[in-house]
Amino acid sequence: MRISGSVAMVTGASRGIGKETARALAAGGAAVALVARNQEHLESLVAELRPGRACAIPADLTDTRQCRIAFETAINRFGRVDILVNNAGMADGGDLLTQPVEDLARIVDVNFRAPVVLTRLAAERMAAQGGGHIVNVSSLAGVTGIPGAATYAGTKAALRLFTSSLRVELNEQGIYLTDVVLGFVKTGMLEQVENSSRVGTLFNRARRLRLMHDTPAPVVARAIVDAIEARQTVVVIPGYARLLYLPLQGLSRRFVQWLTPS
């Protein structure tokens, strides 16, 4: 799909992967609707990008009504949406029994329910337009599971299956879907999950063994744009994540168990 001349909507666009993806899409000639909670950060990014080719849409994606309003705002501003990047995400702060129920519900809402709602809205519009591309940012945690981040892992597994199921449903509508499976990426969310003693221990042990390394967000953004242009179905970043992303997923789970102290 051509990026130049298209309209993209990116969630979680105020920082990290979302911000870098918005930059990469704008550099390729796309108009970009930027969605996140932090209006100040969004407006700063709008000022940085091409004048008149970006707009800030502050929204809390745990609220279905705000999801709908955000999408309608993008349509009203640019007349169409050709690309949707469901990037916004939240991570657990520790083991399940240490987490307030309300926090767990919010993780589910942001990581899974919001992408479902926005995908539904975008798919209807894209079908009427004759096609489009939807990118859902998942995680290696949704393949292997991560002790200390169980809710996050569960939502990312759900998002991966949602994406693969829709790939068949929406293909005849000219709508392509990409599942972006991420390992460790240098963002604020990575710092947050590392505050969990169990997850932090797993990550640090993997780094000491030189089995894993942090990936800069701009590298991920470039891979997302390349996947849209090439209509790739699955993108796994970085190399060690591709190693773990195996049909033998039981082997991947045993690898994580080996890294995690009992």
CATH code of the domain containing 68: 3.40.50.720
Inside any domain, residue 206:
yes
Q: What distance in Å separates the CA atoms of residue 109 and residue 48, rounded to the nearest whole number?
A: 30
Question: What residues form DSSP beta bridges with 134?
Answer: 84, 177
Query: Could you tell me the pLDDT band of residue 140, with boundaries at 50, 70 and 90?
Result: confident
According to DSSP, residue 28 is labeled T
Inside any domain, residue 116:
yes
The residue-averaged pLDDT of 78-105 equals 92
Return the number of other C-beta atoms located less than 10 Å from residue 96's C-beta. Answer: 12
Q: What are phi and psi of 241, to 5 degrees?
A: -65, -35
Alpha carbons within 13 A on the beta-carbon side of 199: 25
The residue-averaged pLDDT of 53-59 equals 97
Helices 39-48, 16-27: inter-axial angle, 10-degree rounding: 30
pLDDT score of 216: 86
Q: What angle do CA 50, 85, 116 make, to 5 degrees?
A: 145
Inside any domain, residue 2:
no
- Residues annotated catalytic, as ranges: 152
| CB-CB contact of 196 with 149 (8 Å) | yes
State percent of the chain over pLDDT 70.
78
Of 22, 23, 36, 93, residue with least CA distance to 66: 36
Residue 170 has pLDDT above 70, yes or no: yes
Inside any domain, residue 254:
yes
Alpha carbons within 13 A on the beta-carbon side of 160: 21
Inside any domain, residue 57:
yes
pLDDT score of 50: 78
Q: What is the pTM of this model?
A: 0.88
Q: How many domains does the chain have?
A: 1
Residue 12 has pLDDT above 60, yes or no: yes
Inside any domain, residue 245:
yes
Inside any domain, residue 82:
yes
Q: What distance in Å separates the CA atoms of residue 110 and residue 88, rounded to the nearest whole number?
A: 7
Q: What distance in Å separates the CA atoms of residue 89 and residue 183, rounded to the nearest whole number?
A: 14
State the residue range of the domain holding 225: 7-259
Residue 247 has pLDDT above 50, yes or no: no
pLDDT score of 219: 93
Q: What are phi and psi of 136, to 5 degrees?
A: -110, 120
Q: What angle do CA 33, 140, 164 make, to 5 degrees?
A: 65
pLDDT score of 143: 85
Q: What distance in Å separates the CA atoms of residue 89 and residue 204, rounded to the nearest whole number?
A: 22
Inside any domain, residue 1:
no
* Cα first-last separation, the chain: 47
Of 33, 31, 28, 27, residue with least CA distance to 14: 33
